């Protein structure tokens, strides 16, 4: 192939021509989705509004020169932070036009707010009264779709998923723009066009994580349409069955922008330009191909490891956070759009004094937990997971997804999360009295839990579980209910925590099966521990174990009586059958207990740990029974895991204990004797 030689002046003309053609071909801006923060005390002052107007003027000027820029205006407390990001193939003139229209729109639609973001087809504009995090921010988000349905939705879904997995690494490798496009064949008549872009300052890992999350979201929300866009503050993804971007990003349109030729010399100039274009394209393609291949060889091993991990998340799609979410995310779209605050990493580090040992509250399966104090004096608890450990990432995603949707006084409140590099952090409200096990199983601290307080804790846990099972819009199975996952606030009120193992049930689903049994032995229902079957009745079993632990002050897993029973359940059943159920009670309760209430709670606990899930109570029944002194309870049968250490099994109560064989037990009398 002959190499075409062309002059510098013709090259400049060529570049300006491409810019002009891009401008001519550009489409008018589409309807622009936006988000205005509705947080309390978020009204903008007059000074803030004035600073915002000046900031938008600055953004407009800069957009004519740079596709991306962050800027500020004013001083605290009326300081405004702003940024704009134009699509990677948009020239500077079009970028400025898009930014001007976006700022005009956002000023009208978000008037009086301190924080907002607007997305156009070609640009994003954002402002806030706080500094933007240099790391991935995934909220707020928006998903919009094409009006027409795809004629072959299954094929489209597969091709989109495959194409996104290929284009995401291309964007993360582009250190300057974090922008990439991808075109693949969809049918004999149509091609699929994909575009992905991150905020340029994001690290490779943050960009990849943001795009992977966005790809998973767009595959859920596009509803088998011909195209869709998913947008958040840090990245965006779009796919269509028509070309909506130019193949090569155009150059900037400077002050000496070239005007297209006209007149008698036009034909000659156009021919020269056409020849130059052909030659330049060949040279550029070969050069870029050489550079790309060289870089790929040098970084192949490193990138493959990183890409593999994120590709798995994308490939798993909904299954990464459980296929059981699919119903909720399709039918309850408002759940996915709820605001969820992201904490700046630096703020979290400062609050915990750089995760100092003095601030460490404890260590769980997720990782260490630290106390933190924000600048305004608010106390927080920070759960920290190092992503390099390779453990807990799925649990992290699961917990954020589940608990962000829940609001109940007996569930711990998740204030936000933080993602930076190899670190994942969950920020909770701080519980000053730590976890239930910290007090309950300590021989010196358990005196703080008198009978009245333990009853309140039992009732609170029951109401929290009832909310999860029946009263929230989602049916949630906790799967790891235990004393260490019950936190106590200032008033010793219980709050259920740690939703990393939780599962959401959709529709009329009542039971599920898993090959990955998670949780804590000693609290697991037998059908779950041995067969992987779980349901709301699995949580009921765990609640029954926990209730008996609260009464006895002893752990089920470590409850050994020499040559007697090997578990708390066995010991409780033995005492119940002998008519000595009150001996199960923690000795520190002798000065404060109510005998009838203790017996009722033991009875309910045994009904919750029945071997057959069908025989166990529901949490609604438990709440009613705990609140009533007259309700009649059914007779419990022998719980599972209640063999003696010498291998003898308690198959029945001794014949001289009449009430063990009664069909029902009236709680007004209370005693099983």
Which residue's entry shows tokens 């300590």?
442
- CB-based contact 372:418 (threshold 8 Å): no
SS3 at position 83: strand
Q: What angle, 0 to 180 degrees and rounded to 10, lies between the N-to-C axes of helices 92-109 and 8-25?
A: 30
Spot the catalytic one: 480, 498, 539, 586.
480
DSSP 415-448: EEEEEETTEEEEEEE--TT-BHHHHHT-TTTGGG
CA 425 to CA 386: how far, in whole Å?
Answer: 9
- What lies within 8 Å, CB to CB, of 85 at 6+ separation is 67, 68, 123, 124, 197, 199, 200
Q: How many CB atoms are closer than 10 A to CB 154?
A: 9
> Which burial class, exposed, middle or buried, applies to 216 when counting CB atoms under 10 A from its CB (0-12, 13-18, 19+)?
buried
Q: How many CB atoms are closer than 10 A to CB 668?
A: 10
DSSP 376-410: TS-EEEEEEEEGGG--SHHHHHHHHHHHTT---TT
Per DSSP, which regions of 272-333 are E strands?
Answer: none
Reading the block at residue 498, the tokens are 């740690």
Cα torsion angle, 594, 599, 600, 604, sign: positive
- CB-based contact 244:229 (threshold 8 Å): no
SS3 at position 107: helix
Per DSSP, which regions of 46-89 are E strands?
Answer: 68-73, 80-86
User: 643-646: long-range contacts at Cβ-Cβ below 8 A with a sequence spacing of 24 or more?
Assistant: 643/566, 643/570, 644/563, 644/564, 644/565, 644/566, 644/570, 645/560, 645/561, 645/562, 645/563, 645/564, 645/565, 645/566, 646/563
Q: Bridge partners of 225?
A: 149
Question: Is 480 an active-site residue?
Answer: yes
Q: Is 191 left (phi over 0), alpha (psi -120 to 50) or beta?
A: beta
Q: How many CB atoms are closer than 10 A to CB 28?
A: 7
What are the CA-CA distances from residue 259 to residues 13, 16, 135, 274, 329 (Å)? 9, 8, 41, 16, 51
CA 476 to CA 466: how far, in whole Å?
Answer: 10
CA 451 to CA 464: how far, in whole Å?
Answer: 20
Q: Bridge partners of 82?
A: 71, 127
DSSP state of 492: -
Please give the span between the terminal C-alpha atoms of the chain, in angstroms, as a whole number: 102
- Alpha-carbon 414 to chain mean position: 11
DSSP state of 414: E
Catalytic sites, residue numbers: 480
């Amino acid at each position: 192939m002959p190499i075409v030689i062309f002059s510098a002046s013709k090259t400049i003309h060529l570049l300006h021509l491409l810019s002009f053609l891009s401008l001519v071909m550009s489409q008018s801006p589409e309807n622009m989705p936006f988000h205005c923060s509705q947080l309390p005390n978020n009204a903008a002052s007059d000074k803030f509004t004035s600073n915002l107007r000046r900031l938008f003027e600055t953004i407009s000027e800069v957009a004519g020169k740079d596709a991306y820029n962050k800027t500020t205006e004013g001083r605290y407390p009326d300081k405004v932070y702003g940024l704009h990001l134009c699509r990677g193939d948009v020239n500077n003139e079009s970028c400025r036009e898009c930014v001007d229209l976006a700022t005009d729109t956002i000023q009208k639609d978000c008037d009086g707010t301190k924080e907002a973001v607007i997305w156009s087809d070609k640009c994003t504009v954002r402002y806030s009264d706080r500094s933007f995090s240099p790391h991935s921010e995934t909220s707020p988000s928006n998903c919009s779709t094409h009006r027409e349905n795809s004629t072959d939705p299954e094929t489209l879904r597969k091709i989109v998923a495959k194409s996104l997995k290929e284009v995401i690494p291309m964007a993360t490798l582009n250190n300057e723009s974090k922008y990439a496009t991808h075109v693949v064949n969809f049918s004999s008549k149509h091609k699929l066009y994909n575009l992905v872009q991150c905020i340029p300052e994001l690290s490779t890992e943050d960009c990849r994580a943001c795009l992977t999350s966005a790809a998973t979201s767009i595959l859920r929300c596009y509803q088998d349409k011909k195209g869709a866009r998913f947008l958040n503050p840090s990245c965006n993804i779009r796919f269509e069955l028509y070309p909506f971007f130019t193949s090569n990003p155009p150059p900037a349109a400077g002050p000496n922008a070239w005007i297209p030729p006209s007149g008698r010399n036009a034909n000659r100039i156009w021919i020269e330009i056409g020849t130059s274009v052909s030659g330049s394209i060949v040279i550029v393609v070969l050069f870029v191909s050489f550079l790309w291949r060289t870089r790929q060889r040098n970084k192949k091993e490193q990138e493959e490891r990183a890409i593999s991990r994120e590709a798995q998340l994308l490939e798993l799609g909904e299954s990464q956070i459980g296929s059981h979410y699919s119903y909720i995310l399709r039918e309850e779209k408002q759940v996915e759009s709820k605001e969820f605050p992201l904490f700046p990493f630096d703020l979290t580090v400062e609050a915990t004094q750089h995760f100092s040992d003095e601030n460490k509250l404890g260590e769980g399966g997720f990782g260490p937990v630290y106390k933190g104090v924000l600048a305004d004096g608010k106390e927080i608890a920070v759960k920290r997971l190092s992503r390099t450990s390779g453990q807990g990432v799925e649990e992290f995603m699961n917990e954020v997804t589940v608990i962000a949707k829940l609001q109940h006084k007996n569930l711990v409140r998740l204030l936000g999360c933080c993602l930076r590099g190899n670190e994942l952090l969950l920020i909770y409200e701080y519980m000053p009295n730590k976890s239930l096990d910290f007090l309950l199983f300590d021989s010196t601290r358990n005196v703080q839990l008198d009978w009245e307080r333990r009853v309140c804790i039992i009732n609170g846990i029951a109401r929290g579980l009832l909310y999860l099972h029946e009263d929230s819009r989602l049916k949630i199975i906790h799967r790891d209910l235990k004393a260490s996952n019950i936190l106590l606030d200032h008033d010793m009120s219980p709050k259920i925590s740690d939703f990393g193992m939780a599962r959401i049930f959709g529709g009329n689903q009542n039971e599920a099966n898993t090959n990955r049994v998670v949780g804590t032995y000693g609290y697991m229902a037998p059908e779950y521990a041995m067969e992987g079957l779980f349901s709301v009745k699995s949580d009921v079993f765990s609640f029954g174990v926990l209730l008996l632990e609260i009464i006895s002050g002893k752990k089920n897993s470590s409850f050994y009586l020499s040559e007697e029973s090997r578990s708390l359940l066995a010991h409780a059943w033995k005492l119940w059958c002998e008519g000595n159920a009150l001996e199960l009670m923690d000795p520190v309760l002798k000065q404060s207990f109510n005998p009838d209430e203790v017996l009722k709670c033991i009875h309910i606990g045994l009904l919750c740990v029945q071997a057959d899930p069908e025989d166990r109570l529901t949490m609604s029944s438990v709440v009613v029974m705990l609140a009533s002194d007259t309700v009649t309870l059914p007779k419990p049968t022998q719980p599972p895991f209640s063999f003696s250490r010498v291998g003898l099994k308690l198959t029945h109560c001794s014949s001289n204990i009449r009430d063990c064989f009664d069909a029902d037990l009236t709680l007004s009398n209370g005693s099983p004797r």
